[in-house]
Structure 1
Amino acid sequence: MENKSTSYTYLIFLHVIIGVIVFAIPLLSKIYALIIPVVGFYLVIRNKNSNHEVILVSAYLVGVEVFLRMTGGNLNNEYIKLCVIIFMIIGMLYKNFAMGSLIYGLFLLLLIPGILVAREIAEVNFDTDLKKAIMFNLSGPVCLGIASLYMYKRRILFTDLQKILKVMGLPIISTVVYLFLFNPSIKDVVTGTQSNFETSGGFGPNQVSTILGLGMFVFFSQLVLFSKSKGMIFLNGILFVFITYRGLATFSRGGIITGVAMIVCLIMILYLFSNAMGKAKVSIVIALSFFAGLAIWGYTSMQTRGLIEKRYANKDARGREKKDRLGGREAIMDADYELFLENPIMGIGVGIGKELRKESLGQEVASHNEITRMISEHGLFGIFGLFILFLTPFTLYINNRQHLYFLSFFVFWMLTINHAAMRIAAPAFIYSLSLLSVQIKNPEKTESPH
């Protein structure tokens, strides 16, 4: 136990150093981005994926994506998603996949008609770069489909699942360190209630708050379930506090609300499945979490001169109620629904929505909502695809009650695709984790996913 705690502490320290070094020498971010899959590939091949290496490497890639993007290390916007897809395919070559996972093969097939429709429409009406538009819109769903093929009913111990979360959380620590160095004084840059690029490392606040919200859950779960000493309680508690504080400072609400929802789901599951003594302990956790949340909120409010409260109350800096509660997303969603009603069977085609929104919104705008995008661009095929995504995890959970994180993972995916679509790999990968067959204790050693 002492060795595990020591190595965990060293890994945290290493990622603090990575955040500092990349801030000082930004060029190293590109080298970092290249090294990760190379080292990951070596680990998978050396161990023949015997210890879920493809999931661990993919988790690290998911955790590091926003850090690479904000530091200029990403080779392109789809780089991490493509890496995850490749590692999942390698995993299937080593360990095959369950036959039931072919439901996600059907999901992938349902995406094809939207591509064919887009090709026909684009050739006649638009000058858009169709390959780029298709890659932009479908890299996320394809990543989800491939990852789900691999994860479906794959057996894993709960302790190994937590290791996956820890690995994903480590580069989030580098992200937070970079944010503190990029913008050490929040007071100096916060002047309004809109999402703030300065407090988000110069990158999109929506994506930054999404990954920080995920980090909140990672270190909260580590704090509550896997901190066996006072030192570990302090360390994980500090990480949770700093990540939450910097997440609030982005002024992007979606990711933080999602992180809180994940934590609430975990606490609820722990309470429901605990005995009387366990319920008492969970009640203490609830009370402490509430007071910790108040303290973090209070400090953030002081640092932002009360503007954070106005942001979450949907008010401007003068305290006036904003008409638009979702930062302009309602208009995009309404446009998507109108496009669906005009083309209910085949949809308008992948990537065409951005062009057609010119007519109703006066400008090209990409959808932030994956659900309305699927419906408008894929039509009836998109609706069938969404049914698969929403129903399949729950059919598995009926016989998978030891998966304590199931509801948290599903909620992360559902809420994230409603405010940030699938711009980053996190929602696709976290969704696939909800399909794992999790065991608290290992009754027998097994390698097969069946």
Structure 2
Amino acid sequence: MLIFFNKPLAKVYFIGAFFYFLIRVIIAADSQKTIEVLKACGYFVGIEVLMRTTGGAISYEASKYLVILFMIIGMFYKGISGHAYPYFFYIMCLVPSIFIASTTLSFDANFRKNIAFVLAGPICLGFVAMFCYDRKVKLKELQAVLLYILLPLIAHASYNFFYTPDVKEIISSTASNTDAAGGFGANQVSTVLGLGMFILAIRFFMKSPNLGLKLFNISLFIIMSFRALVTLSRGGVIGATIALIAFFVLYYGYINRRKRNELIVMVGIFSIGVIVVFLYSSIQTNGMLDKRYANEDALGREKEDVSTGRKGLFIEEIEGFLASPFVGIGSSRVKDQRIENTGEIVISHNEVSRTLAEHGIFGVIILLILIFKPLAYRSQNKGNVFFYAFLCLWFATINHSGMRIAMPAFIYGLALLNVTHEKKRLIPRKQLIEP
């Protein structure tokens, strides 16, 4: 509320948060360094889009740079696993595209800004993966990291309520709505609020031991879901749904028979909450939400392209890869070509096709590392109940929003953690001493 009524406070808040977490990481005991680094990174992942919306970030990519900084600090104190070397090789595979870009980017292009825009996310992922790989954390510590991501997302949803308290007045079509997203890009806002939906659902099932907490978390979930749905940007909501399905499948196998029966009941209650929020959102958007998810326009006519133009961009980037399959066309050259051809700034939404186009054969190696290294790790370590959920959320996000924000990089890294489960302590019975 304070930031909504006084935008300059956002910068004070952002800088204050940075020094707060920096001090916490530095003064933390050695046994707590890892978790403090992850909490700091998680908080800036959660707050990134809100700070972009309010102008609070000191630069557009500030959260990515801070995640990298905290990861470097973590590596300084805690080192890295010797088995994380593929991610160092992954970062090295990003370098050749910079040299190619120096010869392919147009004269008018801002070389440093363009390179930073497309490589900050992938490099951030590389540092997060190196630090997180096989890093031991307790399940309750990982849940605490997810809470640190969630808290600023609740603030973000609150800000959006102040910005557009009545969405009925602003929605008249099925297009993504910037006003409903708090005045910023609906795609990015939907993505992070979808992450908030996912975390709140996890807390509903795993961190709600009594009825009060269950009602509290399902209420927050409904509020977060409403603000995500009314942006009319589908990517974040669909990504959260895929991740939740992956979580349910794995979680069901982790728990015992008694808890499975409880889970079925909770899924029923949760499903009612989902239906309620969707119906309410549909009413508030004058039925445009239904049409949006049915791939129809405001008049109810089916749209030809379900991907809202992303398919054409994907094909263009694959053609770029086929034109230069060995060294690629260079970092940011995809966006540069579209400016030359159409005069419009059209940014890639798909990190897979962009990686292939701009990095060539190195892009193929990059994707192989990103996909198969976690799966190989999972075959040896099955302690992370969120593994497939995190991996699905990362992959869904980079396929509809690229790596514009730090979220997919950090979520990918969390899938690589070695999550340990505390065993219940057995209290030995005292033997009776005969008189």
State yes or no: 1:109 paired with 2:104. no
Partner of 2:39: 56
Select the residue among 68, 75, 78 that pairs with 1:95: 78
**Structure 2 segments unaligned to the other structure (5+ residues):** 426-435
What letter matches 1:61 in structure 2? F
Select the residue among 32, 35, 38 that pairs with 2:19: 38
Once residues 397 and 421 of structure 1 are traced to their aligned partners in structure 2, the CA distance between those partners, rounded to angstroms, is 25
Instruction: Name which of structure 1's ranges 378-387 and 268-277 shifts more when overlaid on structure 2.
Output: 268-277
Partner of 1:8: none
| Counterparts of residues 117-266 of structure 1 (less than 5 Å) | 117-122=100-105, 125-266=106-247
| Counterparts of residues 287-366 of structure 1 (less than 5 Å) | 287-358=268-339, 363-366=344-347
Q: Deviations over 1:87-115 (max 9, x none)?
A: 00000000000011111000000001111
Instruction: Give how far 1:359 is off.
Output: 6.3
Instruction: Name which of structure 1's ranges 49-58 and 343-352 shifts more when overlaid on structure 2.
Output: 49-58
Instruction: Give how far 1:358 is off.
Output: 4.6
Instruction: Give how far 1:398 is off.
Output: 1.6
Partner of 2:431: none
State yes or no: 1:407 paired with 2:388. yes
Q: Deviations over 1:419-440 (max 9, x none)?
A: 1101110000010000000012
Instruction: Give how far 1:276 is off.
Output: 2.5
- Figure out how many residues of one structure are paired with residues of the other and give that number: 423
Instruction: Give how far 1:194 is off.
Output: 0.4
Select the residue among 401, 414, 422 that pairs with 1:441: 422
Q: Is 1:49–1:91's contact at 8 Å kept on the other side of the alignment?
A: no
Instruction: Give how far 1:443 is off.
Output: 9.6
Q: Is 1:248–1:256's contact at 8 Å kept on the other side of the alignment?
A: yes
Q: Secondary structure at the match of 2:108?
A: coil
TM-align CA RMSD: 1.5
State yes or no: 1:78 paired with 2:61. yes
Once residues 180 and 364 of structure 1 are traced to their aligned partners in structure 2, the CA distance between those partners, rounded to angstroms, is 30
Partner of 1:426: 407
Q: Secondary structure at the match of 1:314?
A: coil
Instruction: Give how far 1:396 is off.
Output: 1.1
Instruction: Give how far 1:442 is off.
Output: 6.1
Q: Is 1:267–1:286's contact at 8 Å kept on the other side of the alignment?
A: no
What letter matches 2:421 in structure 1? I
Once residues 136 and 292 of structure 1 are traced to their aligned partners in structure 2, the CA distance between those partners, rounded to angstroms, is 38
Instruction: Give how far 1:48 is off.
Output: 4.3
What letter matches 1:98 in structure 2? S
Once residues 80 and 45 of structure 2 are traced to their aligned partners in structure 1, the CA distance between those partners, rounded to angstroms, is 22
Once residues 326 and 377 of structure 1 are traced to their aligned partners in structure 2, the CA distance between those partners, rounded to angstroms, is 22
Determine what percentage of the aligned residue pairs are the same residue: 37
**Structure 1 segments unaligned to the other structure (5+ residues):** 1-19, 445-450
Instruction: Give how far 1:362 is off.
Output: 6.1
Once residues 69 and 133 of structure 1 are traced to their aligned partners in structure 2, the CA distance between those partners, rounded to angstroms, is 18
Once residues 47 and 131 of structure 1 are traced to their aligned partners in structure 2, the CA distance between those partners, rounded to angstroms, is 36
Q: Secondary structure at the match of 1:184?
A: coil
Q: Is 1:267–1:282's contact at 8 Å kept on the other side of the alignment?
A: no
Q: Is 2:254–2:385's contact at 8 Å kept on the other side of the alignment?
A: no
Once residues 379 and 430 of structure 1 are traced to their aligned partners in structure 2, the CA distance between those partners, rounded to angstroms, is 26
Q: Is 1:354–1:365's contact at 8 Å kept on the other side of the alignment?
A: yes
Q: Is 1:335–1:357's contact at 8 Å kept on the other side of the alignment?
A: no
What letter matches 1:302 in structure 2? I
Partner of 2:252: 271
Tell me which stretches of 4 or more aligned residues in structure 1 moved more than 4 Å: 358-362
Change (3 A) 1:106 1:151: same
Instruction: Give how far 1:199 is off.
Output: 0.6
Once residues 376 and 48 of structure 1 are traced to their aligned partners in structure 2, the CA distance between those partners, rounded to angstroms, is 45
What letter matches 2:57 in structure 1? N
Q: Secondary structure at the match of 1:330?
A: helix
Partner of 1:4: none
TM score, norm. by length of structure 1: 0.91
Instruction: Give how far 1:282 is off.
Output: 2.0
